[in-house]
């Protein structure tokens, strides 16, 4: 369990944020620039000492302003991956990694060292220096160095912000593997909703130095109130699914809390867990179940909320135990007479499936 409470006054800005992380995986610290995200994790790392607060990691008190406790950064056993990676330019990749390994309180065994190399695909890079690496490769080395320090907690400060789309696509699968295999609590600072949808398990919204919302990603991202608080468009849906069957018609059937989805053939064994993402624009609504339609997925749902915008309307739905949001026009809303409590059918036109969960 991780307990964080930080209070500090700056000129024109006050940080007063408190939250708990009670499980491993990735907790996204999300919010606009200037919300205090980096300052907060710098306090966790010990490179910033706030005026007041309390930070506890695995029952070890790292900061307690009331008692005067302040554990210096090196003694906190916390890994930190900076946006600019901060690799040592005069060292090879292997020596950068061994720098992290040497700083560990409990050094990784040769087998564990090899596992980190395999996890992040670093073996072919060991002899290179940072100047010869791509942005994505540098990020993977920085992750490996942090992991080999055997941290109790890993902090990642917008690790993909400086990368172009191709390099982001390169490193995202490694971050997914890290999330799924390392079982290490991670705080992931970002202002990218796409990264939150794909990677995070839990979500903390930081706004004007305060925690404005906290909860599971699956619950918050398709929530209209959260979207308003965060100043973003709600996700159509983000939820867990399991490969149920490989159908004879070439589709793969996925089971989830709202029923079953048919998607393009996935080369995944039965029982594999996946993360499914839907865009609000890709969910159509019908008052009656359509019979002759090209879409493969028609899901019964009930309306739980309606949020108008200029020309469009976001319709909150509950499909079994899963929240969905459909974005339709005001004209469609009026024509169908949709309101809270309306029972209807959600027609899913397009599905994004992330390969690991």
pLDDT digits (tens, 9 = 90+) for 45-78: 999 999 999 999 999 999 999 999 999 999 999 9
Q: Which of 62-66, 169-173, 230-234 has the highest mean pLDDT?
A: 62-66
Q: Is the dihedral of CA 86, 92, 93, 98 positive or negative?
A: negative
Closest listed residue to residue 95, CA positions, set 138, 131, 134, 129: 129
pLDDT above 70 (res 30): yes
CB-CB neighbours of 72 under 10 Å = 10
Token reading at 297: 């997925």
Decide: 15 and 50 in contact? Cβ < 8 Å: yes
Query: Among 81-90, 218-227, 300-309, whose mean pLDDT is lowest?
Result: 81-90
pLDDT above 60 (res 356): no
Question: In the chain, which residues fall in CATH 2.40.50.100?
Answer: 237-354
Question: Torsion angle of alpha carbons 107, 109, 114, 119, nearest 10°?
Answer: -60
pLDDT above 70 (res 38): yes
Query: Among 76-80, 131-135, 177-181, whose mean pLDDT is lowest?
Result: 177-181
Those residues with Cβ within 8 angstroms of residue 210's Cβ, 6 or more apart along the chain or in another chain:
16, 17
Token reading at 276: 């499914």
* Residue 355: per-residue pLDDT: 62
Closest listed residue to residue 311, CA positions, set 287, 326, 341, 333: 333
Between residues 357 and 349, the one the model is more confident about: 349
* Residue 357: per-residue pLDDT: 44
Pairing type for strands 185-190 and 25-30 reads: parallel
Please report which confidence band the pLDDT of residue 110 belongs to, taking 50, 70 and 90 as the band edges.
confident
CATH superfamily to which 2-220 belongs? P-loop containing nucleotide triphosphate hydrolases (3.40.50.300)
What strands, in cross-sheet order, belong to the sheet with 312-319? 283-286, 343-348, 297-308, 312-319, 322-329
Kindly state the DSSP code that residue 132 receives in the 8-state scheme.
G
Question: In the chain, which residues fall in CATH 3.40.50.300?
Answer: 2-220
Q: State the chain's mean pLDDT as an integer.
A: 92
Residues 191-219 have a mean pLDDT of: 95
- 182 vs 237: CA distance, rounded Å: 26
Between residues 63 and 100, the one the model is more confident about: 63
pLDDT above 60 (res 111): yes
* Residue 65: per-residue pLDDT: 96
Query: 């209209």: which residue's tokens?
Result: 224
The pLDDT tens digits of the residues spanning 237-276 come to: 999 999 999 999 999 999 999 999 999 999 999 999 999 9
The pLDDT tens digits of the residues spanning 284-333 come to: 999 999 988 888 899 999 999 999 988 899 999 999 999 999 999 999 99
CB-CB neighbours of 25 under 10 Å = 18
Residue 198 phi, psi dihedral angles, 5° rounding: -85, -30
Q: Which CATH number fits domain 237-354: 2.130.10.10, 2.40.50.100, 3.20.20.70, 1.10.3720.10?
A: 2.40.50.100
Token reading at 133: 């690496």
């Amino acid at each position: 369990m991780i307990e964080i409470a930080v209070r500090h006054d700056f000129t024109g800005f006050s940080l007063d944020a408190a939250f708990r992380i009670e499980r491993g995986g990735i907790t996204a610290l999300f919010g606009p620039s200037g919300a205090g995200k980096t300052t907060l994790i710098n306090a966790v790392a010990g490179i910033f000492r706030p005026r007041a607060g309390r930070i506890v990691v695995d029952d070890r008190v790292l900061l307690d302003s009331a008692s005067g406790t302040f554990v210096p950064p090196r003694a906190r056993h916390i890994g930190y991956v900076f946006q600019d990676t901060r690799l040592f330019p005069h060292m090879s990749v292997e020596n950068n990694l061994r720098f992290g390994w040497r700083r560990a309180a409990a050094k990784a065994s040769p087998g564990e060292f090899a596992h980190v190399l395999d996890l992040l695909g670093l073996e072919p890079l060991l002899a290179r220096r940072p100047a010869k690496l791509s942005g994505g490769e540098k990020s993977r080395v920085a992750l490996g160095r942090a992991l080999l320090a055997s941290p109790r907690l890993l902090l990642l400060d917008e690790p993909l912000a400086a990368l172009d789309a191709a390099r982001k696509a390169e490193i995202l699968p490694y971050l997914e593997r890290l999330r799924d295999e390392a079982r290490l609590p991670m705080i992931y600072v970002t202002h990218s909703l796409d990264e939150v949808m794909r990677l995070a398990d839990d979500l903390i919204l930081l706004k004007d130095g305060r925690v404005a919302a906290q909860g599971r990603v699956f619950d918050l991202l398709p929530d209209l109130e959260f979207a308003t608080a965060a100043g973003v468009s709600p996700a159509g849906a983000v939820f867990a699914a399991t490969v149920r069957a490989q159908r004879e018609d070439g589709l793969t059937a996925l089971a989830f809390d709202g029923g079953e989805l048919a998607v393009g053939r996935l080369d995944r064994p039965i029982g594999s867990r996946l993360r499914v993402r839907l865009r609000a624009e890709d969910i159509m609504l019908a008052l009656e179940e359509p019979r002759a339609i090209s879409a493969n997925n028609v899901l019964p749902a009930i309306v739980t909320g309606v949020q108008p915008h200029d020309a469009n309307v976001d319709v909150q739905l509950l499909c079994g135990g899963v929240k969905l949001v459909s974005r339709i026009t005001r004209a469609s809303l009026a024509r169908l007479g949709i309101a809270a409590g309306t029972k209807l059918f959600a027609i899913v036109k397009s599905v994004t499936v992330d390969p690991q969960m």
